[in-house]
Structure 1
Amino acid sequence: MPLNVDGNETAGPASPRTGPLTGIVVLDVTRVVAGPFCAMILADMGATVIKIENPKDPDYTRTFPPMVNEGESQTSAFYAQYNRNKLGVSLDLRSADGKEIFKRLVRKADILIENFRPGVMDKFGLGYDDLKHENPRLVYAGISGFGRTGPNSRRPGYDNSGQATGGLWSMNGYPGQPPVRVGTIIGDLSAALYAAIGILAALREAERTGIGQVVDISQQDAVLSLTESAVVRYTVDKEIAGPLGNDHPFVRPYGQFPCADGYVFFGGYTDKFWAITCALFGEPGMATDPRIDTMEKRFDPEVSEKIVNPLLERWFGRYTKAQLEAMAGDDVPLSAIKSIDEVIADPHIEARGMIVDVPVGGRDIRMLGLPIKLSGATAAAHDPAPSLGEHNAAVLQGMLGLDDAALAALREDGVI
């Protein structure tokens, strides 16, 4: 969507957004990660995303490390990673003028994303029941700790809240030791992905019927959906999933194994992959050894511990991670367990476009790319995350037709 304006703020992004969502307008009233990441996915795919922040209380991840530059030009690369390709508008939604401007933006929008606790937008008079009268086709996505319904819906929640209450935390770690949180914000990230899926489904429905709806995403729900077989293991066998370290609940061999310079993942548990592995490492007869010649036998914990694992450790211990991948990675499920510097240097990651250059503080900083690959999409340069209110003029004049005097008055009153 072109935005042309004369004013003090930046006129718009450095390059027009392209992609399958070109022409879709998203209002991003979110902060931290779950909401911003969801909106960024849509922006990466071509949507015009307008990030709206309170001028007195902006997204506090603007202060999260790592920082690029120092002093007044200091910029958060953490913030930039989840807010690239967006337009930045500052707007106080508590003020009467702010509410009116927001409603006018809603009339122009296709999607709204917020990640307040349920009820907060209603208190502003800007909840879905209010906004659907401004724009009946609006897709309204709410991401929260516990969702919009249920007895815990009003509770505050962070990523760790989702990991704790969704069951994942209790399953992570080592047997006999206290549970360990998953080493990334999996609750935020999974909620963002589910929100993007729900938004696109609701958008399709709105395009077909002219009627929008609420997309209700709970971090707890998102985390629970990631617990694999834990629910059915309990409902069928009353087995309560617990920490397993690097092991699978029943599939063996399927885990971490040491090698000459670190560790690899090996998952050649099927009869086919087991026979290939035995041949690759010079002992083809082990594929027909009557103690371990079937998948069911190798699944047995005692057999795995006493026979299979020592065999694999002897084979793998002779080689480095790179050597193992080179000799076996194309034939069986064997992968180096890589540190993040090794991942960034991985030529396959490079070929997949998973590390991209994004301007931050006048420099190009390498950060995560988009995992969604569409054959019809053309690569586009990434625009930097906006500074607070950077595109006030571009959006409020270009979209709403406010003149210079109106914009100046809104600045003077602290509305923007």
Structure 2
Amino acid sequence: MGKPLEGIKVVEVAMWAFVPACGGMLADLGADVIKIEPPTGDPLRGLKIGNLQPTGRAIDYSWESYNRGKRSITLDLKQEAGREVLMKLLTDADVFLTNLLPRARRAMRIDAAAIRAQFPDIIYASGSGVGPGGPEMEKGGYDAITFWARGGISSSLTDAGASHPVGPPGPAFGDTLSGAMLAGGICAAIARRAMTGEAGEVDVSLLGTAMWSMQRYICQATAEGIDSFARPPADKPHNVLVGNYRTSDGRFVALCMLQADKYWAPFCAAAGRADLAADPRFATAEARRDNLGACYAEVTALFAAKTLAEWRAILSRQEGQWDVVQNVGEMKDDVQVQANGYLKQVDYGDGSAIPMVSVPMLFDGKPLSSTRSPELGADSDAILASLGYGEDAIIDLKVQGVVF
């Protein structure tokens, strides 16, 4: 069985991470994604990010992750000859995908009005910072500021009185989530066109995706006219069976047993402390809240007395929900990651392979395959030839600096 989007052609004029991550997901889903880069390349190529420079092989994992499976052609869209090539590419395309700022799109005549006037059956998909309407529609954005900071996520994670707000957990955190949202919107637009013949425009913004992620807090705060919700102290949980506990070997176990009275007695029995469940101070959820300090101290001491391995065995003997707080380097050894193909090895083209996280969708119980990202302009000649450009015409485009 083929991939879901086989036969769909996507032309991407985008850079950095948000919209390219969308294109990478569409490529894994089977679409033919042609990435158009300026002669200097997408600025993400080779970007140095904090302390994330590789200590071994010089693999750019940001580039590989977000540009998987695409074909690359370099075009200078500021030149008329470059736009002519783009128009030929769009003749049989299904989706035009971009995150260039509106003023840049207008200058290059690749805004939605211009593209859809010439290609009314194409789906025009854009990723924006704060949405395509409003007084700031021309403004760009990055996930660390527009998604994480402006979207209310950072402040909701930051303790009152902290010297600095909590930062994102890693590079492109909001970009990849927003890219997945945009890929979903594109798939819906493809379905609508197939059923009704109506093509159109779809936009996803970093701000909108952040709000979708934070909707529970945002809706209540709006309804009640409050500014924010205080973070409960870690040592005063509403329910002692919801929270993180340190083990004797310095690891953490995360509990999420929302139905406290259902799981309390079985948890205590599995942990060898049935006496805690029998103690009238802790017998019910209400009693545990009334005696929270004492109950929390007992559970904290209980976890601190055993190793993570011991707690794995203990918690496996009861039905309450729990998980280990894992480090990213441990994910490769997670049995569920292995069983479902969530992390795979992708051929790097030099006889070796690199790790890559799978698109988190299984079709017929199987993960989708991936191929590595393209070198800059790797497919320029082949793509131009497929559009009818002969060898002399291709050389001429290179001499003009339209193609690298």
Q: TM over 0.5, yes or no?
A: yes
1 CA distance for matches of 2:30 and 2:55?
26
For 2:394, the aligned partner's letter is L
Q: Is the 8 Å Cα contact of residues 68 and 75 (structure 1) preserved in structure 2?
A: no
- Given the alignment, which residue of 3, 22, 29 partners 1:45? 29
* Aligned counterpart for 1:94 among listed residues 72, 78, 92: 78
Aligned pair count reads: 392
1:176 aligns with 2:161: yes
Mean CA deviation greater in 331-340 or 172-181: 172-181
Query: Structure 1 residues 29, 242: CA separation in 2 closer, same or farther (over 3 Å shift)?
Result: farther
Partner in structure 2 of residue 148 of structure 1: 132
1:383-415 Cα offsets, whole Å, 9 max, x none, are 2210111011222222x1222121111111111
Q: Displacement of 1:37 after TM fit? A: 1.0
Segment drifting more, 203-212 vs 235-244 = 235-244
Separation in 2, partners of 1:68, 1:360: 18
CA distance in 2, matches of 1:313, 1:378: 39
2:364 partner amino acid: S
Q: CA deviation at 1:243?
A: 4.5
Aligned with 1:88: secondary structure? strand
Deviation string for 1:43-64 (max 9, x for gaps)? 1111111111001343333344
Offset at residue 284 of structure 1 (A)? 3.0
2:177 is aligned with 1:190 = yes
Q: Secondary structure at the match of 1:119?
A: helix
Deviations 1:86-136 (A, max 9, x none): 111111111101111111211211112111223321221011111112321
In the alignment, which residue of structure 1 is the partner of 2:152?
167
Q: Distance in 1 between matches of 2:85 and 2:159?
A: 53
Q: Is the 8 A contact 2:22 2:180 kept in 1?
A: yes
Please state how far the C-alpha of 1:289 moved relative to its aligned partner: 4.1
Alignment gaps of 5+ in structure 2:
none
2:205 is aligned with 1:221:
no
Q: Distance in 2 between the 1:394 and 1:131 partners?
A: 24
Q: Counterpart of 1:263 in structure 2: which amino acid?
A: F
Quote the Cα distance in structure 1 between the aligned partners of 2:140 and 2:356: 30
Q: Shift of residue 297 of structure 1? A: 5.1
The Cα shift of 1:340 comes to: 1.3
Which residue number corresponds to residue 202 of structure 1?
189
Residues 376 and 369 of structure 1: CA distance in aligned 2, closer, same or farther (over 3 Å):
closer
- Checking the alignment, whether the CA contact within 8 Å between 1:164 and 1:170 is kept in structure 2 is yes
Residue 116 of structure 1: which of 100, 107, 111 is its match?
100
Residues of 2 paired with 1:324 and 1:43: CA distance? 42
Cα deviation digits, residues 226-252 of structure 1 (max 9, x gap): 125212332344442244576899565
Q: Does 1:59 align with 2:43?
A: yes
Equivalence for 2:356: 367
Distance 1:140 1:256, change over 3 A: same
Counterpart of 1:21? Answer: 5
Whole-Å Cα distance in 2 between the matches of residues 155 and 192 of structure 1?
18
Aligned counterparts of 2:151 and 2:327: Cα–Cα separation in 1: 28
SS in 1 for 2:245: strand
Give the residue type in structure 2 aligned to 1:350. Q
Contact 1:30 1:113 in 2 (8 A): yes
Please give the alpha-carbon distance, in whole angstroms, between the structure 1 residues aligned to 2:108 and 2:278: 70
Match of 2:245 among 231, 240, 257: 257
- Counterpart CA distance in 2 for 1:280 and 1:31 is 53
Q: Name the stretch that deviates more: 311-320 or 385-394.
A: 311-320
Corresponding residue SS for 1:370: coil
Aligned letter for 1:192? Answer: G
Give the 3-state SS of the residue equivalent to 1:141 in structure 2.
strand
Structure 1 residue 180, shift from structure 2 partner: 0.6
User: In structure 2, what is the Cα distance between the partners aligned to 1:20 and 1:230?
Assistant: 35
Distance 1:249 1:151 in 2: 42
Letter of the aligned partner of 1:217 in structure 2?
Answer: V
Inter-CA distance 104–173: structure 2 relative to 1 (3 Å threshold):
same
1:389 maps to what in 2? 377
Equivalent residue of 1:203, what SS? Answer: helix
Contact persistence 1:172–1:245 (CA under 8 A) = no
Deviation at 1:296, TM superposition (A): 5.0
Give the aligned partner of residue 325 of structure 2: 337
Relative distance call for 1:155 and 1:311 in structure 2 (3 A) is same
2:261 pairs with 1:274: no
Q: Does 1:402 align with 2:389?
A: yes
Deviation readout 1:289-341 (Å, 9 max, x if unpaired) = 4434344555x4x743x033222212212222233223214622121111112
Equivalent residue, structure 1, for 2:199: 212
Deviations 1:124-164 (A, max 9, x none): 10111111123212111111211111122222211122211
Q: In 2, distance between residues paired with 1:69 and 1:313?
A: 40
Length-normalised TM-score, structure 2: 0.89
Which residue number in structure 1 is paired with residue 276 of structure 2?
286
Q: Distance in 2 between matches of 1:327 and 1:69?
A: 39
CA shift in 2, pair 1:252/1:316, >3 Å: closer
SS in 2 for 1:89: strand
Residues in 2 aligned to 1:75 and 1:393: alpha-carbon distance in whole angstroms: 25
The AA in structure 2 aligned to 1:92 is D
- CA 354–76 in structure 1, closer or farther in 2 if over 3 Å, else same: same
Alpha carbons of 1:102 and 1:249: their partners in 2 closer, same or farther (altered >3 Å)? farther
Q: What secondary structure does 2:246 align onto?
A: strand
Alignment-derived partner of residue 324 in structure 1:
311
Distance 1:401 1:110, change over 3 A: same
Which AA in structure 2 matches 1:218?
A: S
From the superposition, tell whether residues 237 and 58 of structure 1 become closer, same or farther in structure 2 (CA, over 3 Å): closer
Opposite residue 333 of structure 2, the aligned amino acid is: A
